[in-house]
Structure 1
Amino acid sequence: MKGTVQRRVVRPKRPSYAPFLILLGSIVALIAVLASFFLAFLFSDLSRPNVNTFALEVDTMFQKAKDFPVLGDSAAVAVAFSQTTGNEQYETEHVKVETLVPKSPAASDSYFENAIFIGDSISVGLRAYGVLPTQNVLAEQSVNILNLLNGDPVYRTTGSEKKPVLQAIDERIPNPDKIYILIGANGIPGLSNEAHIKYYSQFIDQLKQKYPDAMIFVESVTPITATSKYIRDSFTTEKINDFNDKLYAMAQEKGLYYLNVQEVLMDDTGHLIADYDAGDGMHLKSNGHKAMYEYYLTHTVGPDGYTDKIVE
């Protein structure tokens, strides 16, 4: 009897997807981890306080403070900020300005929108070279402090008619928030520095009475060259420097701001930088006036009397 032959049907094995699923799961998990790190960084950056907002909050806090330690000409707050302008990085200190205005980050041109600049032929260049708008500059040749104090008609606002300084201010900037004064070169030869400062102080009283809310900036008389054609016994670098010292003392006494513009125009010998000389050893070329304007922009005071002094 023949045996029965049994046949086994061998079915092909189904491929296993387990390794593939494990790999896919690992990739998904890795993506999830990376996404969580990215979102955490993003939201932490968004929640980080803005430097400008923080500075504003600190400024508000400082405005409420009443007692500050006095350091020279400024009442300083012991908080320093690191700032960057272009490629220049520096630290600033928020200080109350008493007299001498320190260097600060450059303000925008709008800082001078409601300012008036009062001056003589030195200041004429601010207008003539387009450094400042004509509307903001009252300047004429040969003007001295007695012209201003006595109300002499010295400034043109429109047309050829000249007006006293207070009337001219009202026609140009009726309620200035800042008044800049660069006067002295025409008075130094004919007046003693003591008498000159006395008249200057009386003119300041007139300004403060008429514009009690305006910040008043008095500026140092600008330097001359060692060979200036204007040099005489009564007009020397030494007398100019002595006048500026007395002007600074007056500014301290009367609560004014003092701008030492002389320092940006002076060389190592204490004379006018040759490249700024217009040819007579006293007046300035356009680059000298631009240097003055940059000085104005980087020596500003806020309406609260504070500035961000650059720590050097």
Structure 2
Amino acid sequence: MNFFKSCPLVTGVVVFSIFISAVTFVAKGSIYAAYSEGYDPAEQPLFVVMIKGISGGVMPWKIFDKESVMAAKEEDMGDAAAILADISGNDISGNDVSGNDVASEEITFKEVTDDYFADALFLGDSRTVGLSEYCEGLDEQAMFYAKVSLSIHSVLENDFLKDEEGKKMTVEEALEKDEPYGKIYIMLGLNELGTGTTETFVAKYAEVLARIRELQPDAIIYIQSIMHVTENKSSNDKIFTNERINERNEALSHLANNVDIFYLDMNEAVDDENGNLLEELSTDDIHLKASSYERWHQYLLKHAIVKD
């Protein structure tokens, strides 16, 4: 206390930092939602989101203006709708991404064997890392581009891969060089639950799908739903809630066209009767434990699209 009394400048800086961080925390879900995309609290202080917003002309006091908050949400929804309309209304390498009338038709999944995944790629975060590590049947057949903390905002640009010479490269660069994949499985969304809105999330997801479609025009793309957390986690956490996950999964399901992009509800394989991740399948209430990944594997084997 004596230190702070003798150093009022330091005290002022600390108090100011706490204040703007608090304001940013409140505003990042409304007026600064668009500026919080890709924000990583482990790498940057929270007030960086506010600074980005101010540089874009969005002042913090607008949080008290209801019209500004509503306008921000409507803009997010408009951006998502515009992207979806654009990629569904234009033929991308011979395939639409969404918005097809066929999407309403019933899907017929078939059961396959592990060799189905010989030309498959899995993109994802820590959960997909676990699938690679603990599911030998898939790991021996498929390619995995997975990384802990990966998000929809960083999946194409993060240079966590290495080429044959050991040089770092991004997923986007790898997809340009790789042989054509027959199937691409995506599971992302867990790390984004605390940032942005459902609208900004699905808009970015649609962008990523469109780019993947450009780079891999003949692949069947599977959007795997965000897996739930346990009831204990969902009830005691403000960010990782199944209500929030359900909202984003609902939005993701509309990106499927049931022609060459399909939605897989992975929670059918791991949920209890109340729609929560089964407690016995996880050790941390979020991730599957090693022995639980076989449920995921078996679900994929029974939910495959086989083209004639």
Residue by residue over 1:114-139, the C-alpha shift from the partner in whole angstroms, topping out at 9 and shown as x without a partner, is 00010100011111112422651111
From the two aligned structures, give the one with the greater helix fraction: 2
Is the 2:121–2:185 contact (alpha carbons within 8 Å) kept by the matching residues of 1?
yes
Judge conservation of contact 1:143–1:154 (CA < 8 Å) in 2. no
**Cα RMSD after superposing both structures:** 2.8
Instruction: Return closer, same or farther for 1:254/1:233 CA change in 2, 3 Å cut-off.
Output: farther
In 2, the alpha carbon distance for the partners of 1:284 and 1:200 equals: 24
What's the offset of the Cα at 1:174?
Answer: 2.1
What is residue 182 of structure 1 aligned with on the other side? Answer: 187
Deviation per residue, 1:44-72 (Å, 9 max, x gap): xxxxxxxxxxxxxxxxxxxxxxxxxx895
Q: Secondary structure at the match of 2:155?
A: helix
Q: Does 1:297 align with 2:308?
A: no
Provide the rounded CA distance (Å) in 2 between the counterparts of 1:116 and 1:196.
22
Tell me the equivalent position of 2:148.
Answer: 141
Q: Which runs of 5+ in 2 are unaligned?
A: 1-101
Deviation of 1:229 after TM superposition, in Å, equals 8.6
Output the CA distance in 2 between the equivalents of 1:211 and 1:189. Answer: 30
Are the counterparts in 2 of residues 217 and 256 from structure 1 also a CA contact under 8 Å? yes
Structure 1 residue aligned with 2:158: 152
Residue 197 of structure 1 aligns to which amino acid in structure 2? V
Aligned equivalent of 1:263, options 259, 268, 291: 268
> Where does residue 105 of structure 2 map in the other structure?
73
| CA offsets 1:285-306 (integer angstroms, 9 cap, x no match) | 12321100100000011124xx
SS in structure 1 at match of 2:227: coil
Partner amino acid, structure 1, of 2:214: Q
**Any conservation in 2 of the 1:117–1:138 contact (CA below 8 Å)?**
yes
Identity of aligned residues (%): 28
Q: Say whether the 8 Å CA contact 1:188–1:235 is kept in structure 2.
A: yes
Deviation string for 1:206-228 (max 9, x for gaps)? Answer: 01111111111101001101223
Amino acid at match of 1:284: L
TM-score by length of 2: 0.60
CA distance in structure 1 between the partners assigned to 2:131 and 2:154 by the alignment: 21
TM-score, structure 1 normalization: 0.60
Spell out the pairing of 1:1-312 with structure 2 (5 A cutoff). 73-74=105-106, 97=107, 102-104=108-110, 106-129=111-134, 130-133=136-139, 136-149=143-156, 151-155=157-161, 162-169=168-175, 174-228=179-233, 232-252=237-257, 256-277=261-282, 279-304=283-308
Question: In structure 1, the residue corresponding to 2:154 is in which secondary structure?
Answer: helix
In the alignment, the residues of structure 1 paired with residue 194 and residue 236 of structure 2 have an alpha-carbon distance, to the nearest angstrom, of 9
Which portions of structure 1, spanning 4 or more consecutive aligned residues, are displaced by more than 4 angstroms? 156-162
Query: How many pairs are equivalent?
Result: 206
1:161-209 deviation line (CA, Å, top 9, x unaligned): 64311233466x5210100000110112112111000000000000111
Tell me how far 1:103 sits from its aligned partner: 4.9
**Secondary structure at the residue paired with 1:138?**
strand
- In structure 1, list runs of 5 or more residues that go unmatched: 1-69, 75-96, 305-312
Q: Is the 8 A contact 1:131 1:289 kept in 2?
A: no
